Amino acid sequence: MTNEYNHNFNDPAVKEAANEYLNFAAANENAASIEGNIDAISNNIKTATDVLKGELETTKDELLSLIKNHPNEESQLSIFDKFLCFLEKICTQFVESFIGVQSRHNITPSISKAMSATQLSDELNSLNKELAILTRKLHDEQLEITKDYGEDDILRPFTDCIETNIGDYKYKLCLHSTLEQINKDNKATKIGVFEHIELSESTKNYQIRYNRGERCWNGPVREAIVDVVCGTEQKILQVTEPEKCLYNIRFESPIGCFESDLIIFDEF
């Protein structure tokens, strides 16, 4: 109609109809341009999201390989699945907020629902807490892997703590962690933290060293050497203090048994 329309024609109704059509056509061109921009932005965000998801999946695989020998930790990895979903929600809302319209792409209802700032903050805080817990556990696992538990990891299976009353004190020996002295008021003093186990060349038995204990009054930091002797039970036999805040502990355990000891037992 516009091609055949004579612009010099003075009929007001016809002129108004032609102008309205021209405005409508121009608006449609703008709409098509906006639609193209929306699709371009959405595609860019989707690409960025896919890259982030790929990096997170790589991190998840690395964490799985670190704790593959600790199956109880695997359930904690659900945090990454939650984070991926959360990331998708954030990216979706970012696009919709930026362009001022609802996304025209097909997405799941759970992701398409708008989340308030409070909900987003609460979910992010929850994810951060779970991530902090998992990070601490992974750190502990890494430290555990690097600990020196002696030849053939001889000390690793012995995870129990042993408590024995000697004199005025109770001594609590946790082979993998700490050695404590507990008084009658049940107040614990840390003698030391597990450092390593070694085979003594002089005594021909295992010695477990505990360092970095609490500092003595006007004295050095406490530490201890635990001499392990062969026995069928695990118990503390004797505690001495040859030097101030340096403890020597005689400890009976199967850890201290060698082939020669087994031959002696067989003779009885």
Has residue 176 been placed in a domain? yes
Q: What is the pLDDT of residue 201?
A: 78
**Same-domain check for residues 24 and 138:** yes
Q: What is the pLDDT of residue 157?
A: 83
**Same-domain check for residues 72 and 180:** no
| Domain-terminating residue out of 97, 129, 146 | 146
4's enclosing H/E stretch is none
Report the alpha-carbon distance of residue 262 to residue 37 in Å, rounded.
82
| Domain-terminating residue out of 146, 166, 200 | 146
| Domain-terminating residue out of 146, 163, 190 | 146
Backbone angles phi, psi at 236, to 5 degrees: -85, 125
Has residue 57 been placed in a domain? yes
Q: What is the pLDDT of residue 78?
A: 60
**Same-domain check for residues 166 and 219:** yes
**Same-domain check for residues 117 and 26:** yes
- Number of domains within the chain: 2
**Same-domain check for residues 129 and 180:** no
Cβ proximity of 173 and 226 under 8 Å:
yes
**Same-domain check for residues 195 and 137:** no
Q: Which residue has the tokens 């505690």?
A: 239
DSSP bridge partners of 101: none
Backbone angles phi, psi at 124, to 5 degrees: -65, -40
**Nearest to residue 254, comparing CAs of 225, 236, 233, 238?**
233
Report the alpha-carbon distance of residue 17 to residue 35 in Å, rounded.
27
Report the alpha-carbon distance of residue 130 to residue 78 in Å, rounded.
10
Q: What is the pLDDT of residue 12?
A: 56
Report the alpha-carbon distance of residue 158 to residue 156 in Å, rounded.
6
- What pTM did the predictor assign? 0.50
**Same-domain check for residues 124 and 192:** no
Has residue 29 been placed in a domain? yes
- CATH value at residue 228: 2.70.130.10
Has residue 238 been placed in a domain? yes
Q: What is the pLDDT of residue 121?
A: 74
**Same-domain check for residues 108 and 232:** no
Has residue 7 been placed in a domain? no
**Same-domain check for residues 166 and 246:** yes
Cβ proximity of 150 and 158 under 8 Å:
no
**Same-domain check for residues 168 and 237:** yes
Q: What is the pLDDT of residue 144?
A: 75
Has residue 156 been placed in a domain? yes
Structural domain boundaries enclosing 132 = 12-146
Has residue 239 been placed in a domain? yes
**Same-domain check for residues 59 and 161:** no
pLDDT profile of the chain (268 residues), mean per 10: 50 55 54 56 64 63 60 52 63 57 47 59 80 84 77 82 92 93 93 90 86 91 94 92 93 84 52
Has residue 69 been placed in a domain? yes
DSSP bridge partners of 164: 171
